[in-house]
Chain A
């Protein structure tokens, strides 16, 4: 074998060797198990804590409100749609309850008139025609809207 070829060849081998070596050290553990990514990242994505725990969690204390809600037209609206959990509120619901104010603004999120909403679903109201000066919950029960208070 001519010297030049030998030198070239050995340099090549050195480069490939060093490359493979460095790659082995730098590659994270589970990389390439399923594809060109770190397979453990799938597990990482599962580890985030839950904030929305579902109505089941609310029922443990508020069975009465749940029953009331299911007897009326707000049955499709989940507790947590209106009562947005504060961070981990359902763990400490008693000390840090996810309170909401029943304001016209609040009910209007779903019931205010909007040209994009004129379809099936919750009825839309022009609040100027619907007891403008009063708060919705003065008349409507927020959990059972047809249970009128007056």
Chain B
């Protein structure tokens, strides 16, 4: 075998491998175009979704801390019953006469919150329902390494349970502590504004059961919605505004003690 023969073989080998690569490259170059063609339909749908942007108002002045919302959330969304998995919960803040603040939330408020501080020591006391704030600049979405958590076109932060790898980064990233690791599915879990309800025209379960209308749910882009009325009537604030997360949950009567 001479060097000529080797060269010829090598040339053949290169030719065929380049042809193979070229073929696969061409195929994969075509695939994105397929996606672009699909995107046109998607874009139309997105426009439709663009006139809904879900949000929630929470009225601390009327919340009585009965815990019905936390209970309903667990039932509706099949959240484990153990007292440390909550998509929404109610905290009782008690400011004592000596200036100390006590925050308690036994079992997330389910079964009704009870005051543990004697009356004579209390300066003021109030209930704060908490849930995912559905931030417009969601830190959890930025932290997710695989794109399993995302903001839907109508503004709800959702978790893709089939795609989540359970790394818990989002749980650490959330400044509101609104996420947890679901011990059954082993993926991150959080409030979805009851996405399966709101897309059918119903209210989220927590809003549905609230006896005092302390939670107001609605479309932020609909000028006639109860939520927009609530925002216009009351002076509302968001939690931790300095973090620039732009939450879509608005609190009326928020005290500076609330963290």
Contacts and interface: CB of A to CB of B under 8 A. Distances in A.
Give the interface size class of chain B.
35 or more
A121 B64 contact: yes
Contacts, number: 160
A5 interface: no
Contacts of B93: 116
A95 interface: no
Contacts of B31: 24
B213 A76 contact: yes
Nearest to A114: B115
B209 A33 contact: no
Given A45-B192, A45-B196, A110-B64, A116 B115 contact: yes
Interface string A24-48: 1000100111111111011011111
Chain A interface residue bracket vs B: 35 or more
25 contacts: A16-B25, A17-B24, A17-B28, A24-B28, A24-B31, A33-B38, A33-B39, A36-B147, A36-B150, A37-B149, A38-B162, A42-B152, A45-B195, A46-B195, A46-B200, A48-B78, A48-B196, A54-B202, A78-B211, A80-B208, A85-B75, A87-B75, A116-B92, A117-B65, A119-B62
Interface of A: 10, 13-14, 16-17, 20-21, 24, 28, 31-39, 41-42, 44-52, 54, 76-78, 80-81, 84-85, 87, 105, 108-110, 112, 114-117, 119-122
